Amino acid sequence: MTLPSIVACLLLSTLLAAGVADAKPEERVLVAETPRPFEDFQLTDQSGEAFRFSRLRGGSALVFFGFTHCPSICPAAMFKLKVLTESLREGGGPVPTVVLISVDGARDTPEVMKAYLAPLSDRFIGLTGDPKAVRKIAAGFSAVFFKGLPADNSSNYPVEHTSQVYLVDEQGRLRATFFDASVEEMTRTTRAIVADAK
């Protein structure tokens, strides 16, 4: 994907997100009319081990593309996923695995990912790797990102990225996309899709 097309996708995502702010609850959740499979992939987890996504088959997963230096969107999304999984666990039944895929592989080493996820949950999985490989993976989810320029002479550069959360079913198919949906909306949709897969 070329830089202009990435920028265009991000602009579209921003415009969609702006519309989502005033959207009805049901418009914040996009359920795939047909479950969409995507190509299996392998990255490195927070323990420094090779991790193939197909290992999660047999259980659902909530996937988010973000990075540990993200100042606002990522912390909010990860906290929401923490509350969501705790709510599902308390209600009984299957709980999806939360997978954070880093869009900043240069800084997000396994050790950094492990420290970032530790306060959230020991059940969350952090995956990192070469940004080129991650960009290809992200395309399978219709997610995009690109590295920005630092505002000063430091190495504290931003990474612009889409903020959706993706629900993958136990067969490894994309079933729903959440656009800043509430925990209640995500819980309801996740429960329905997981129950439907059984």
Distance CA 171, CA 134 (A): 21
What is the pLDDT at residue 9? 45
User: Half-sphere exposure of 7 toward its Cβ, with a 13 Å CA cutoff?
Assistant: 4
Is the per-residue pLDDT at 139 higher than 60?
A: yes
Residues 142-155: what's their mean pLDDT?
Answer: 79
Instruction: Give the count of beta carbons closer than 10 Å to the beta carbon of residue 173.
Output: 16
The CA-based diameter of the chain, rounded to the nearest angstrom, is 53
What's the pLDDT score for residue 21?
Answer: 42
The single-letter DSSP state of residue 108 is -
The correct CATH number of 3-197 out of 3.40.30.10, 3.40.605.10, 3.40.50.2300, 1.25.40.20 is 3.40.30.10
Question: What are the backbone dihedrals phi and psi of residue 148, each rounded to the nearest 5 degrees, phi first?
Answer: -95, 180
Local confidence band at 151 (pLDDT 50, 70, 90 cut-offs): low
113 Cα distance to chain centroid = 14
pTM given for the model: 0.85
Q: What are the structural domain ranges in the chain? A: 3-197
Is pLDDT above 70 for 198? no
135 vs 23, more confident: 135
Instruction: Indicate if the pLDDT at residue 4 is higher than 60.
Output: no
pLDDT tens profile 13-72: 443 443 444 445 557 899 999 999 999 999 999 999 999 999 999 999 999 999 999 988
